[in-house]
Amino acid sequence: MKRKPVTRKQSYNRKTSSRSSIGKFFRYLTLIVFIGLFLGGVYHYRRGLAYYLGFKKEKLSEKEIEDKRLSDVRNFQVLAKHEGKSIGLDVSEYQGKISWSYVDTLEQKYPLDFVFIRATVGRDRKDFQFKRNWIGAKENKMIRGAYHYYRPNENSIEQADLFIKTVKLEKGDLPPVLDIEKLPKNQSLDSLKKGLKRWLLKVENHYKVRPIIYTGERYYADFLKDEFGEYLFWIANYNFYRERIEDDWLFWQFTEKATVPGIERTVDVNIYNGDLQQLQFITVD
């Protein structure tokens, strides 16, 4: 009679048990790492979470809690890290008809000092709400500025002429802004840059003040930073990792999803790299 291979079976069971233990260890380790990352994230955004969820020390009414709405925790986190900086908006026809008399603070905590208003698009289109917004912001005693949305495939001089015809800057207004976000389809990058420079020069000669350039952070780094170093930049970056304004940015548009009294739809919020007094210093004389 043959004996059963007891020794081999025991060896197989030991190997299986060993692999099972190793698997349990790695699952346990993965769980610990995940919990650590989660708790680290909660700690990092503790101020924003507390505000967002309404866990503030002072007691708030139901209406106050309902009115205190930022689109996400990051918005409050960014604002909390820029205490003392001037805060403002930028608007266009996409915000509909704005009740300017109600536009005063963000989250009833951060005064809104300024607003950039879209005036023109390309060579032939005016923003439908520009005139109303331009007057409303002035009546609401906000520092106002106007911007032009540049279309890369259209004549730059015609675009500058439309902006000049549409926008009448007054003492105390912000410098004009060129908004460039798209790459050209029918021309080279060199041709695009020449067109941008023609727009900037014509507008500067008219208003006697150097315009500001608005663009995304990646666009700025890849196409504009080196050749347009003499200009001041207003940079858009909504990424979660970005929480502070860079030293060489004049303005930072950090969100497009904020809620503000008097504006029914979500709106962009911007931080000026200085306080209100410094903001007033760059306005038109």
Query: Which residues are tagged catalytic?
Result: 90, 181
Task: Give CA–CA dist 102/95, Å, rounded.
Answer: 14
DSSP-based three-state secondary structure for 179: strand
DSSP-based three-state secondary structure for 49: helix
- Beta bridge partners of residue 269, listed in sequence order: 89, 255
The residues near 199 (Cβ < 8 Å, ≥ 6 apart) are: 148, 150, 156, 157, 159, 160, 178
* Nearest alpha-carbon partner for 78 in 277, 268, 279: 268
DSSP labels, 216-274: EHHHIIIIITTTTTTSEEEEE---TT--S--TT-SEEEEEEEEEETTEEEEEEEEEESS
